[in-house]
Amino acid sequence: MLTASVFAVVIFIVMFFMIVLDKIERHIVTLGCGLLTLVVVFGICMHSFSAIWNTLAIKNFVTRDFWYQVTESESKGINWATIIFIAGMMVMVEGMAKAGFFRWLCMKIAFIVKCRPIPVFITFMIMSAVLSMFIDSITVIMFLSAVTVELAQLLDFNPVPVILSEIFCANLGGSATMCGDPPNIIVGTSLGLSFFDFLNNTGLCAGISLVFSVIFFYFAFRKEIVKDGAKQVDISTLPAPSESISNKRDFIISCVIFGCAVVLLVTHSMTHLTVASIGLFIAFLTVVTAGKSALELLKKVDYKTLLFFIGLFVVVGGLEETGILEYIADFIKDISGGNAMLMIAIILWISALASAFVDNIPFSATMVPVIQSLAGTTGVSINTLAWALSIGTDIGGSATPIGASANVVGTSVAAKNGYPISWGKYCAKLAPATVMVLAISTVYIFVRYI
Amino acid sequence: MGQLIISVGREFGSGGRVIAETLAERFGIPVYDRHLITEIATKTGMSEEEVEKYNETPKSRLVSRRVRGYSNSIEDNIAEMQFDFIRKKAESGESFVVVGRCSEVKLKDFSSLVSLFITGDMDKKTERVMNIYELDRESAEDLIAEKDRKRKKYHNSHTDSEWGDVRLYDLTINSSKLGIDKTVDFLEGYIRARMDNNSQK
């Protein structure tokens, strides 16, 4: 078992190192390392076919719980529910983007506030947070930052502070729900938590934090956004929101499907439909209603990310099966001396620190079995540890330009349009905001759960 | 004359840029080197100094990340804008000379492309750099090593191939053997032969 553990750790470290180096595409890295885990760790070292079988988790597809879950259950190995859900949402988002939904929404809100820079700044922050509760933050920021740059050029304001605030709020909004950010989907599906569980716990925390964040960014950026007085622009000369809609029929259908997705997610603890079922159903609806464009939508799905997840879960499965994650859990238990507050603080802040520099998806996938083990041995509620892990990984990612996918997309869109954002410029305001929200979250968890 | 695209890769101090400019003059076509910086600066509203800072500069892997084709690295974004620019110029049918920018790889699908790599003997490159930049020998050698290291890293991070690998280029030539002028003469003859060959097809 010792040899297997050593190999599992080495494979995991190599995988992390190669993801950071970004020399080879990350899905190839995780799939290669996943294959090595199956062959070397489970096959050669452990001679355990059951470990391979458990990690591949193919049998989950034929269990009723995978599609319709009455009682909470935890999953091990490849988290197929996460993968199917993300795939389904990707198909839906492609349909919405093709119909012009996101650009329309951005322009509509800008027009509602009469395209005045400061109100645009505040409403876009809130919109970023709300949209990210249901849609992946990459897509939200991709559209929001592009429209922000366009409006900035038309209205003569500085888009950088607006984009930075949108990025931060997208990550914050993502922490509010089970489907907002991949770590939450992993945590939720692994621990059998519902959309409403997240909304009621991390959601409330995100709501409180959003109020503080909007105030923080308003005072931090208000002088940077508009210099020497705002330019007066006749909004009737600007492109109307309706011009963003490429096809009215597709637009209405995509709005209805999005509405269905939100309703299904909000009610899934009552309907007992799992996120896998919801993802599959939403994808099915989108494809069926897309007609001739169905193939085009399916081709646009980011399969590399889905493959990345599959490989990642196998590698983490290697750590889990060899007991490495239990050692980590014991280590956290020892240094916290069994003190629940210290344990939660460690999970939240270490998760945040790690997520500020490395991909939060592998981190959270690794930490889920750790908190399961911790909860089992210390008696601290698994849900409380789950909220600490989710908040830490989701919020911590905001601190640096590489901490989360939305940050990369937002800074890239800004740079491509002539507004380069350096590490210094990014961290000057977003790192303090991250620390502020983490502090609020720590107090929130202590007051509410301890 | 049909379309002609000349891509010039070069070692620092080899005279590659001068060779590219002279070839452009002889064929009566524009050269895109410094012009690319101005173009990006005009297009984006950035200052030329700011674009220059990130021009042909490799990103630091530890502080960069790429997500679905987007990168937070300013160096990457400037590089991609330049690749787009030369690709669009090539697609428009325009003839031009382009210096560096991984152009031998980015434009390899264009049949009108003639890709060259200019190298040189270390002592000759050092003398050239000492004269141009008014440096002592040691500083000149250090500057050559530093610039070539950066160009290699930049090239290799934006392509799947190795900077200076002879298999990437139609012709690799040591400018120290014939001197700059005769090297240009030789290259002009080669390019004209290639143009004749293309027009017969």
How large is the average pLDDT for residues A68-78?
69
Six token digits for residue A212: 């503080």
Q: Are A186 and A81 in contact (CB under 8 A)?
A: no
Question: For residue A228, what pLDDT band results from cuts at 50, 70 and 90?
Answer: low
What gap in Å lies between CA A206 and CA A174, rounded to an integer?
A: 9
Q: What per-residue confidence (pLDDT) applies to A231?
A: 63
The distance of A63 to chain B (nearest Cα, Å) reads 34
Report the alpha-carbon distance of residue A137 to residue A182 in Å, rounded: 10
Strand pairing partners for B99?
A: B8
Digit-coded pLDDT (tens) for B75-114: 888 888 889 889 999 999 999 999 999 999 999 999 999 9
Q: How far apart are CA B82 and CA B69, in angstroms?
A: 16
**pLDDT tens for each residue of B141-181:** 999 999 999 999 999 988 989 999 999 999 999 999 999 99
**pLDDT at A74 > cutoff 80:** no
pLDDT of residue A377: 87
Of the candidates A295, A272, A327, A354, the one whose C-alpha atom is nearest the C-alpha of residue A65 is A272
Per-residue pLDDT, A54: 86
Instruction: Please tell me the distance from the alpha carbon of residue A363 to that of residue B141, in angstroms, as a whole number.
Output: 45
Mean pLDDT of A305-324: 88
Alpha-carbon distance B190 to B193, whole Å?
5
Q: Measured between alpha carbons, how far is B81 from B120 in angstroms, rounded to an integer?
A: 30
For the record, the structure tokens of A81 come out as: 């529910």
Nearest by CB to residue A420, choosing from B43, B46, B70, is: B46
Quote the CA–CA distance of A154 and A135 in Å, as a whole number: 28
Burial A84-106 (b: 16+ CB within 10 A, else e): bbbbbbbbbbbbbbbbbbbbbbb
Is pLDDT of A405 > 60?
yes
Residue B153 and residue B61 in contact, taking contact as beta carbons nearer than 8 Å: no
Asked: is B5-200 a CATH 2.60.40.10 domain? The reply is no
Using the Cβ of B45 and the Cβ atoms of chain A, whether some distance falls under 8 Å is answered with yes
All residues at 6 or more sequence positions from A20 whose CB lies less than 8 Å from its CB, including other chains = A358, B61, B62
Q: What's the CA gap between B135 and B127, in Å, rounded?
A: 9
Residue spans of alpha helices (H) in A194-247: 195-198, 204-225
- As given in the structure block, the two tokens for residue A16 are 């992390």
What is the value of pTM for the model shown?
Answer: 0.85
Which residue type, as a one-letter code, is found at position A267?
A: T
Asked which of A60-64, A94-98, B13-17 is least confident by mean pLDDT, the reply is A60-64
Give B102→chain A minimum CA distance, Å.
17
pLDDT confidence of residue A378: 87
Q: How confident is the model at residue A314 (pLDDT cuts 50, 70, 90)?
A: very high
Q: What is the pLDDT of residue A16?
A: 85
Q: Do A409 and B46 touch (CB under 8 A)?
A: no
Return the pLDDT at A82: 86
- Tell me if A264 sits within 8 A of A178, measured CB to CB: no
Residue of B52, B67, B85 to mutate when probing chain A, most A C-beta within 10 A: B67
HSE-CB of B64 using CA atoms within 13 angstroms: 19
pLDDT of residue A234 exceeding 80: no
Residue-wise pLDDT tens digits, B32-65: 887 788 888 887 777 888 888 887 788 777 788 8
Q: Do B67 and A409 touch (CB under 8 A)?
A: yes
The answer to whether residue B156 neighbours chain A at the CB level (below 8 Å) is no
Identity of the residue in B63, B67, B74 whose CB atom sits nearest the CB atom of A138: B67
Confidence check on the interface: ipTM exceeds 0.85, yes or no? no
pLDDT, averaged across chain A: 90
Q: What is the pLDDT of residue A72?
A: 54
A17 touches chain B (CB under 8 A): no
**What is the model's pLDDT at position B106?**
94
Residue B28's pLDDT is 94
Tokens of B111: 């049949």
Whether A75 shows a pLDDT value over 80: the answer reads no
CA dist A58 and B79 (Å) reads 43
Residue of A nearest to B160 (CA): A23
**Can you tell me which residue has the tokens 């017969």?**
B200
- pLDDT value at B70 more than 90: no
Residue A4 corresponds to which tokens in the numbers above? Answer: 């297997």
Q: Check pLDDT > 90 for residue B27.
A: yes
**Is the CB of residue A416 less than 8 Å away from at least one CB of chain B?**
yes
Contact between residue A176 and residue A199 where contact means Cβ atoms under 8 Å apart: yes
Residue B39 Cα to chain centre, angstroms: 16
Residue of chain B minimizing CA distance to A17 = B62
User: Residues of A with CB below 8 A from B71's CB?
Assistant: 408, 412
Cross-chain residue pair A402–B78, CB shorter than 8 Å = no
> Residue A192 phi/psi, 5° resolution?
70, 35
The residue type of A161 is P
Query: Domain locations in chain B?
Result: 5-200
Whether chain A has a CB inside 8 Å of the CB on B43: the answer is: yes
CA distance B193 to chain A (A): 39
Q: pLDDT tens across A333-361, in order? A: 888 888 899 999 999 999 999 999 888 88
Residues sharing a CB contact under 8 Å with residue B101, sequence separation 6 or more, in sequence order? B32, B36, B56, B79, B82, B83, B86
A93-98 average pLDDT score: 90
Q: pLDDT-derived band of residue A397, with 50, 70 and 90 as boundaries?
A: very high
Cβ pairs bridging A and B (under 8 Å): 61
List of chain B residues whose C-beta atoms are within 8 Å of the C-beta of residue A401:
63, 65, 72
Determine whether the interchain pair A405/B67 forms a contact, defined as Cβ–Cβ distance below 8 Å: yes
Query: Mean pLDDT across the stretch A16-32?
Result: 87
Backbone φ and ψ of A68, nearest 5° = -140, 110
The band of A432, judged by pLDDT with boundaries at 50, 70 and 90, is: very high
Residue A230 pLDDT greater than 60, yes or no: no
Task: Identify the pLDDT of residue B69.
Answer: 82
Contact (CB<8Å) B61/A417 = no
Cβ–Cβ gap A412/B70 under 8 Å: yes
Q: With an 8 Å Cβ cutoff, is A24 touching chain B?
A: no
b/e string for B31-49 if b means 16 or more Cβ within 10 A?
bbbeebbebbbeebebeee
pLDDT of residue A229: 56
